[in-house]
């Protein structure tokens, strides 16, 4: 379907290759859904799922809303569309630590007046937000953030200005494909990182899934929604452990495990089976 060697990408691709949106998104989707399927086969059945940005597609698959192959095609098309948008309007992203949402948003508005598009792209945790936009604008906000007392500002190894208005062409290209893709009702609790709320009707959510390309990720809100409903343990099934770190910043008492920490996953599996 995609023509990509998924095994090679997941196991051996270099950083430059994985920075390409069309490649990275397929690789992350394939790995995340495979790990989730393995854990479920071992007895670790999710009570609720939530995905960060692209991870919403994996969450839809795990929740029973989206067929895996159809999801793969959407992710492939999404990645291509975002790569084309990034080539037409180059941009970047940076993580800002230690400033409030309001302060960072104000700095973005200040920089955008003279340097081009820049917005808050991810509301990740009480201490981290991510900005996205034109390179000069992101650099300007980074300088202003340091002057305002940010603990750190770190540029991200990404291929474009994701979750910003610069991705609008990708949104337009993906729209007809998403419109034609069947979505079923979730079989487990499903929270959206686009709205931060529980998804009740996937047909209503279809538009939000499209809008997530240019809208910010409300990760802190989504995790808070699950915590309020009783979630105490979070398993990160994608590559790395970034989301586990963010969850602990949001809820220091939450227990977390990652796909890279199979000992932790096995502990949760034993608890689930018992």
Output 113 or 11, whichever has higher pLDDT.
113
- 185 lies in the same domain as 217: yes
- 192 lies in the same domain as 240: yes
The mean pLDDT of 139-156, rounded to a whole number, is: 97
- The residues facing 153 across adjacent strands are 96
How is residue 76 written in tokens?
């492939």
Cα–Cα distance, 91 to 212 (Å, whole number): 17
Cα–Cα distance, 108 to 128 (Å, whole number): 15
Cα–Cα distance, 163 to 52 (Å, whole number): 12
Is residue 163 part of the annotated active site? The answer reads yes
The pLDDT confidence band at residue 218, using thresholds 50, 70 and 90, is very high
Strand pairing category for 128-133 and 189-191: unpaired
- 136 lies in the same domain as 207: no
- 71 lies in the same domain as 96: no
3-state secondary structure of 191: strand
- 143 lies in the same domain as 183: no
Cα–Cα distance, 58 to 71 (Å, whole number): 8
Give the model's pLDDT for residue 78. Answer: 95
| Residue in 142, 163, 192, 193 annotated catalytic | 163
- 201 lies in the same domain as 230: yes
- 107 lies in the same domain as 151: yes
The mean pLDDT of 155-180, rounded to a whole number, is: 95
Within 10 A of 149 (CB to CB), how many other CB atoms are there? 9
Structure pTM? 0.90
Q: Is residue 186 part of a domain?
A: yes
- 101 lies in the same domain as 132: yes
* CATH number of domain containing 110: 3.30.70.250
Crossing angle of helices 68-88 and 168-179, in 10° steps, is 160
* CATH number of domain containing 174: 3.40.366.10
- 97 lies in the same domain as 142: yes
* pLDDT, tens digit, 9 for 90 and up, residues 78-125: 999 999 999 999 999 999 999 999 999 999 999 999 999 999 999 999
> Closest Cα partner for 259 from 37, 49, 35?
35
- 189 lies in the same domain as 240: yes
Q: Which domain holds residue 102?
A: 92-158
The pLDDT confidence band at residue 274, using thresholds 50, 70 and 90, is very low
| Cβ contact 190:63 at 8 Å | yes
| Residue in 32, 53, 142, 192 annotated catalytic | 53
- 75 lies in the same domain as 45: yes
Q: How many domains does the chain have?
A: 2
Q: Is residue 1 part of a domain?
A: no
User: Under 8 Å CB-to-CB from 108, ≥6 apart: which residues?
Assistant: 118, 119, 120, 131, 133, 137, 141
Give the model's pLDDT for residue 238. Answer: 82
Is residue 53 part of the annotated active site? The answer reads yes
* pLDDT, tens digit, 9 for 90 and up, residues 20-49: 767 788 888 988 999 899 888 888 889 999
Q: Which helix (H) or strand (E) holds 94?
A: strand 92-97
């Amino acid at each position: 379907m995609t023509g990509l060697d998924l095994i090679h990408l997941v196991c051996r691709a270099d950083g430059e290759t994985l920075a390409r949106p069309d490649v990275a998104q397929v690789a992350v989707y394939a790995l995340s859904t495979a790990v989730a399927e393995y854990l479920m086969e071992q007895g670790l059945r999710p009570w609720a799922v939530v995905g960060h940005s692209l991870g919403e597609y994996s969450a839809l698959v795990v929740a029973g809303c989206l067929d895996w192959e159809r999801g793969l095609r959407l992710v492939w098309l999404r990645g291509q569309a975002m790569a084309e948008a990034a080539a037409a309007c180059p941009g970047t992203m940076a993580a800002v630590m230690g400033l409030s949402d309001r302060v960072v948003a104000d700095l973005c508005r200040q920089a955008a007046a003279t340097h081009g598009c820049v917005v808050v792209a991810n509301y990740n945790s009480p201490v981290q937000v991510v900005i996205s936009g034109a390179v000069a604008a992101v650099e300007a906000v980074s300088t202003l953030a340091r002057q305002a007392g940010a603990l750190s500002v770190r540029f991200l190894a990404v291929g474009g200005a994701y979750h910003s208005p610069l991705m609008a062409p990708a949104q337009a290209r993906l729209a007809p494909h998403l419109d034609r893709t069947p979505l079923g009702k979730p079989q487990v609790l499903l929270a959206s990182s686009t709205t931060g709320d529980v998804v009740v009707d996937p047909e209503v959510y279809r538009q939000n899934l499209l809008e997530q390309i240019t809208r910010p990720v409300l990760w802190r809100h989504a995790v808070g929604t699950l915590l309020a409903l009783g979630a105490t343990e979070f398993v990160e099934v994608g590559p790395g452990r970034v989301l586990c770190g963010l969850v602990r910043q949001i809820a220091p008492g939450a227990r977390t495990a990652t796909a890279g920490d199979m000992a932790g996953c096995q502990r949760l599996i034993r608890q689930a089976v018992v």
